[in-house]
Amino acid sequence: MIGPEGEQLGIVTPKEGLIKAEEAGLDLVEVAPNVKPPVCRILDLGKYLYSLSKKEKESRKKQKVIDVKEIKMTSKIEEHDYQTKLRSARNFLERGDKVKMTMFFRGREITHSELGKKILARFIEDIADIGEVERNDGLEGNAIHIYLQPQTGKKTTVKPEPAQEVKREKEEQ
C-alpha cells in the first residue's frame, strides 16, 4: 500500500487499508490489480480522475490527425483539369495529408488501361518533389488506386497563395 504522500506503507489487509484511508479523509484506490499482492494507494479519487482526464486530453492534443484525401480522374482528362488535380494534390501533401489517386475507367475504356497508367505515371513524376508513393494497388475492378504520402524527411509548409503575393507586391510599391 502507498500512502497519500507517496510513501510505502507495506503490505496491509484490505480492512486496515480502508481504516487508514478513512482516517486521512481520502479514498483507497487499487492502482495495480494484476500483481501479487495488489497495489493500493490512499488518495482523493476525484482529484486523481481529474488529473487522468487532463493527461488524456493533453496527449490527444499532441496527436496529429492525418486525413486521406481522394482525387479522381479518368483516362480522358484534359490538360487544365489535370493541372487543377495536380495543384489540389500538392496542397493536400503540403498540409501533411495523404492522397488517394483514383483513375477510373468507364465502359470500354478499360481495354485501354495503359493510357490511364501513363497519366498516373506522369502525375507521380510531377509530384515527386513533395510526395512519394506509399502504396500502389494497381488495377482493381474498373479503377487504379495509388496512395501518396508527403515525402519523408522534408518539412511540410503551406505556401502563400498567389493572391496574397500580389497584394504584398502592391503594398510594397
Distances (CA, A) of 158 to 90, 97, 108, 125: 10, 12, 41, 21
What structural domains does the chain harbor?
14-60 (3.10.20.80), 68-150 (3.30.110.10)
Give me the tens of pLDDT residue by residue for the chain, a chain 173 residues long: 888 888 888 888 888 888 888 888 888 888 888 888 888 888 888 888 898 899 988 888 877 777 888 999 988 889 999 999 999 999 988 888 899 999 888 888 888 888 888 888 898 898 888 888 888 877 888 888 899 888 876 544 444 444 455 455 545 55
d(C-alpha 13, C-alpha 165), whole Å: 73
b or e along 67-97 (b: 16 or more beta carbons within 10 Å of the residue's beta carbon)? eebebebbbebeeeeeeebbeebbbbbbebb
Instruction: Enter the C-alpha cell of residue 66.
Output: 492525418
